[in-house]
Structure 1
Amino acid sequence: MSIEYIETENAPAAFGPFVQGVRFENLVITSGALPLHPSNGEFIGGDIKEQTRQTLDNLSAVLEAAGSSLKKVLLITVYMTDMDRFSEMNEVYASYFPGRCPARAAVGISALAKNAQIEMQAIAAR
């Protein structure tokens, strides 16, 4: 039983002392995914819908690099700086999880790294 560290060029590189994700046995645990451009790590800006799409695309890339996918997500934690935008985020979120969605928590917080409006972290099966 060993921990494998996940790194992919299809998602933004970690910009601090953390990794994109880890794989342990049949679990994949991601670090928080932000709405950053995968190739240069720059913040994409835009409204909450655009930021949600990019965040989920980045999360998906890490999961796929670990041998998993959004279809195998067990739990997602969503962090938002403006819970008044929850329904807009939820509209985009639902399009990434057709059918049955994973368990989820949504947390309103005052600030996120890179001034993002949203961040997501996942636990998935492999």
Structure 2
Amino acid sequence: MSLILNVLWLVFGGVWMAVGWLFAALLMAISIVGLPWARSAVVMAGYCLLPFGMQAVDRTEVSGPDIGTGALGTLGNVLWLVLAGWWLALGHLISAVLMAVTIIGLPFAWAHLKLAGFALWPVGKTIVPR
């Protein structure tokens, strides 16, 4: 079932949001200051391409605490929110509203809402199979 949902997701706009995430990663990588956030944006682009059957969890649950899960991770998330997180989350929210217009689009709207929440605070999280 995840395969079918992921294929339909790609056809109905998942690719465009992944491109948005890759564009954010590129902007972060170009500005040397944003390099630490570029990795989070690339991970999120992969999650945005195939969201069904995957979930975002804190990295502390998977690999234990590290530099991105403590106070520096919180600071990184605040900076991310200001620089790129809000407009990516807004893109997901708009996509969710457009998908929720039809009954068939409801699973995709729900996926966009999950991605919008993750877009606001991605540092210190990782993607794992459900």
TM-score (norm 2): 0.31
TM-score (norm 1): 0.32
Higher helix content, 1 or 2: 2
Q: Which has the larger radius of gyration?
A: 2
